[in-house]
Amino acid sequence: MTYETLLVETRGRVGLVTLNRPQALNALNSTVMRELAAALKAFDADKEIGAVVLAGSEKAFAAGADIKEMQTLDFVDSYLGDFIGGWDQVAAARKPLIAAVSGYALGGGCELAMMCDFIIASETAKFGQPEITLGVIPGMGGSQRLTRAVGKAKAMDLVLTGRMMDAAEAERAGLVSRVVAPEKLLEEVLTAAEKIASFSLPAVMMAKEAVSRSLELTLAEGLRFERRLFHSLFATEDQKEGMAAFVAKRKPEFKHR
C-alpha cells in the first residue's frame, strides 16, 4: 500500500510509522488518521512484526488536529458526519505501540501520543491541550487519558490554560516513560521496540491487554482478568521454551506460538 501522509517501513520485527506532513507540522486530518489506522491494522496482521513505533519529525510529533480542515465545520456537519469518530482506532492496535515524541505534541497530537502504549520523549518535546485557545475542548480523549496519566490537578491546569509542558515536567507527571537527548530519540525507541519484539508475541500482547484493561476494570475484575491470561500462557510453546531456556542457562528461542 502507498501512503500520502505517512512513511511506513519495517526494521526487523519492528514496524515504524512516521507522520509526514512537515508543511503543517504533522497536523492530523482525515487522510492521516485513515492511513494511520490502515498501517497499524496491517502491522497487527503481520506475523513478522512484534512491536510498532509511531514517530513525527524533529520539530513536531503532531501540532494537533488540522485547524484549517475544522474551521468551517458546523455542529450538524460534525455530528452527522461523526467528525473524528474513527480517529481512536489507534488505541485499538493490538501490538505494542510506542510514541517517539520530539517537538510539539499539541491537542490531537498529544492525544495521539496518549493512545500509544507509552511515550518516549526527546528533551525538546512540548505537550499541551491548547484547544481552549481555539474556542473548543479536547475531542480525541485529552480530558480522559490525560487526567488518568497525570491526575486531575495537572490535567485541569493544562486543559483550562492551554499552556504547554516540557519533557521534564511531562516525565515528572507520569505522561512519558523516559526523556532522551534529541539525537538519541529514534535509536532509543527502536531499541525498546526491538527488545519487546524479541519476546513471545502472545505474552507481549496479553501483557499489553492486561495493563490496558487496568484503566477500565475494578481491581477485583482486573486481577481475575490478569490471572486468566496468565494461566492461558501455560498453553503456549513459548512458555515451555522460556522456562526451559532459563533452567538450561541459555537464550530462549521464541516461536511466537
Ligand X SMILES: CC(C)=CC(=O)SCCNC(=O)CCNC(=O)[C@H](O)C(C)(C)COP(=O)(O)OP(=O)(O)OC[C@H]1O[C@@H](n2cnc3c(N)ncnc32)[C@H](O)[C@@H]1OP(=O)(O)O
- Residues tagged active-site: 65, 108, 111, 131
- Helix H or strand E encompassing 76: helix 75-80
| Residue nearer to ligand X on the CB measure, 119 or 192 | 119
Residue 62's DSSP bridge partners are 105
CB 200 within 8 A of CB 238: yes
| Residue nearer to ligand X on the CB measure, 98 or 164 | 164
Could you give the CA distance from residue 51 to residue 16 in angstroms, rounded to a whole number? Answer: 9
By the rule CB under 6 A, 114 interacts with ligand X: no
* Candidate residues 122, 130, 201, 203; the one interacting with ligand X per rule CB under 6 A: 130
By the rule CB under 6 A, 63 interacts with ligand X: yes
By the rule CB under 6 A, 68 interacts with ligand X: yes
Site mask for ligand X (CB under 6 A), range 86-105, x = bound: ------------------x-
* Candidate residues 97, 140, 146, 180; the one interacting with ligand X per rule CB under 6 A: 140
Instruction: Select from 23-31, 34-42, 165-173, 180-188 the region that touches ligand X (CB under 6 A).
Output: 23-31
Instruction: Return the closest-CA partner of residue 170 out of 154, 152, 186, 190.
Output: 154
Query: Quick one: CA torsion of 134, 38, 127, 84, rounded to 10 degrees?
Result: 20
All cell numbers assigned to 53: 513505533
- Residue whose C-alpha cell reads 498529544 in the numeric block: 110
By the rule CB under 6 A, 108 interacts with ligand X: yes
Residue 210 Cβ, how far from ligand X at the closest point, in Å?
A: 29
Binding footprint of ligand X, residue count (CB under 6 A): 20
CB 142 within 8 A of CB 162: no
For 48, phi and psi rounded to 5 degrees?
-85, -5
Instruction: Return the closest-CA partner of residue 53 out of 28, 87, 19, 4.
Output: 19
By the rule CB under 6 A, 158 interacts with ligand X: no
By the rule CB under 6 A, 141 interacts with ligand X: no
- Residue whose C-alpha cell reads 513525527 in the numeric block: 56
Residue 147 Cβ, how far from ligand X at the closest point, in Å?
A: 16
| Residue nearer to ligand X on the CB measure, 55 or 193 | 55
By the rule CB under 6 A, 56 interacts with ligand X: no
| Residue nearer to ligand X on the CB measure, 122 or 200 | 122
By the rule CB under 6 A, 125 interacts with ligand X: no
Residue 139 Cβ, how far from ligand X at the closest point, in Å?
A: 3
Could you give the CA distance from residue 52 to residue 28 in angstroms, rounded to a whole number? Answer: 19
- Ranges within 192-211 binding ligand X (CB under 6 A): none
- The sign one gets for the Cα dihedral 257, 13, 53, 32 is negative
By the rule CB under 6 A, 27 interacts with ligand X: yes
Instruction: Return the closest-CA partner of residue 142 out of 124, 133, 153, 130.
Output: 130
Residues near ligand X, by CB under 6 A: 24-25, 27, 63-68, 84, 104, 106-108, 111, 130-131, 134, 139-140
